Amino acid sequence: MIAMQGFQMDLVSEHRLSQMSPVEKVRFIIDEVKSGKILVLEKGLSPEEEASLIEMTMTLIEPDGFSGIEMESYPSEMDTSFLGKILKKNTLKTRLTVIGPADQLKTLKKDRNMISALISTNK
Amino acid sequence: MGVITSFKRNFSDLFKKLFNKQNARIGIYGPPNAGKTTLANRILRDWTGDAMGSVSNVAHETRRARRREGVTINTNGSSITLDIIDTPGLATKIDFHEFMEQGMDEAESKRRAKEATEGVIEAVKWLENLDGVILVMDATEDPFTQVNVTVIGNMEARDLPLLIVANKVDLPEASPSTIRDAFPQHPMVSISALEGKNIETFYEELAKRFG
């Protein structure tokens, strides 16, 4: 039997992430990405969480080791629903986000509604 | 200068002194090599006769945030005084090998990479202490970078003013319209910070957005 080789890609539902605090989300993502996984987050992260993720990533970069993450999310959209307008709070709608190790995931092209990425099996 | 303008300015200064009003803190953000420090230098040279920092073609030349307080900009008869913060280029990855490709030795590359990571952390922390952002994009590059998306998202989430600068329009391959199409919900001005092209329009927009 030939062993299958490749990378692991986890598709993380909105529900799964919504059960975590912002700190837990960032820790979860960093741990998974450092172990070599590619994550696809159904609803992405809030802009503040993205900034926290960048910050924590920087603290973990090591020469000849972890060089950071590749993260690509669609630009967030304003919530124009009736409820969103009434609440007037947190009216940003986050969208799908792909995150992986910088040495394995490379964005080829991205626009408002399309992300094209290359995943390398060679580190 | 007109009597009324002079009176307004003196009254504004007096008001600030009496109530200790802080100047608006405006951060200059963007990916590495977008021209942030070149723009900061342009602003300071035009209005203070000074400069903010050194520039180079090697990414992460600016690795510490620099603040200049009380920069007064006069445009179209109005005047604004800002604290300008030039931040290190934001990135999600930093590999010291990229500095070695620019001709640095290994030790120097590793040191620069370490300083660059600290600079990114500093830039992220500053995001929470600003009143507005000038987001500098290289008009010859794809505008949909994660750095741009994250900075814009943070400003929108905080409901803070943002001015997008499509820089490097002196280069033939520049396409500021691509940036405008990418983020149509925010004001944008096309400039060459290096050559000063369209810089008056930039100052007018600056006063409009942050005044």
The pLDDT of residue A86 is above 80:
no
Is B7's pLDDT higher than 70? Answer: no
What is the residue range of A93's domain? 9-119
3-state secondary structure of A17: helix
Q: Specify the 3-state DSSP secondary structure of B23.
A: coil
Contact yes or no for B144 and A112 at CB 8 A: yes
Q: Domain of B185: which CATH number?
A: 3.40.50.300
We report the CATH number of the domain holding residue A32 as 3.30.110
Model pLDDT, residue B59: 76
Mean pLDDT for the stretch of residues B175-195 = 95
The whole-number pLDDT of residue B39 equals: 96
Residue A102 lies in a domain: yes
Count structural domains, chain B.
Answer: 1
Q: Is residue A101 included in any domain, yes or no?
A: yes
Instruction: Name the residue among A52, A72, A112 with its Cβ closest to that of B146.
Output: A72
The answer to whether residue A4 sits within a structural domain is: no
Residue in A67, A72, A103 nearest the CB of B94: A67
Structural domain for B118, as ranges:
26-210
* The total number of structural domains that make up chain A: 1
Burial of A96 (C-beta count, 10 Å sphere; 0-12/13-18/19+): middle
At B51-109, the pLDDT tens digits run 787 777 777 777 788 999 999 999 888 889 999 999 999 999 999 998 899 888 999 99
Helix (H, G, I), strand (E, B) or coil at B205: helix
Mean pLDDT in residue range B195-211: 94
In angstroms, how far is CA A85 from the centroid of its own chain? 27
The residue whose two tokens read 């600003």 is B130
Domain assignment of residue B2, yes or no:
no
Residue B11's pLDDT is: 58
* A13-21: Cβ within 8 A, 24+ apart: A13/A42, A14/A42, A14/A43, A17/A41, A17/A42, A17/A43, A17/A45, A18/A43
Considering only CB atoms, B90 lies closest to which of A52, A54, A103, namely: A54
pLDDT one-digit tens code per residue, A4-59: 778 899 999 999 999 999 999 999 999 999 999 999 999 999 999 999 999 999 99
Domain-located, residue A3: no
The verdict on residue A2 lying in a domain is no
SS3 A73: strand
Residue B43 has pLDDT above 80, yes or no: yes
Distance of CA B162 to the CA centre of its chain: 10
Whether residue B140 has pLDDT greater than 60: yes
User: How many Å lie between the alpha carbon of B2 and the closest alpha carbon of chain A?
Assistant: 43
* Minimal-distance CA residue of chain A relative to B112: A63
Percent of chain B with pLDDT over 70: 90
List of chain A residues whose C-beta atoms are within 8 Å of the C-beta of residue B149: 50, 73-76
B187 residue type, one letter:
P
Q: pLDDT class for B26, splitting at 50, 70, 90?
A: very high
- Is pLDDT above 50 for B27? yes
Complex prediction ipTM: 0.85
What residue type is B125 in one-letter code? K
Q: What was the pLDDT predicted at A5? A: 76
- Checking if the pLDDT of B20 tops 70, the result is no
* B154 in reach of chain A (CB within 8 A): yes
B3 is a domain residue: no
- Asked if residue B18 belongs to a domain, the reply is no
Residue B38, helix vs strand vs coil: helix
Q: pLDDT at position B58, please?
A: 73
- Is residue B17 a part of any domain in this protein? no
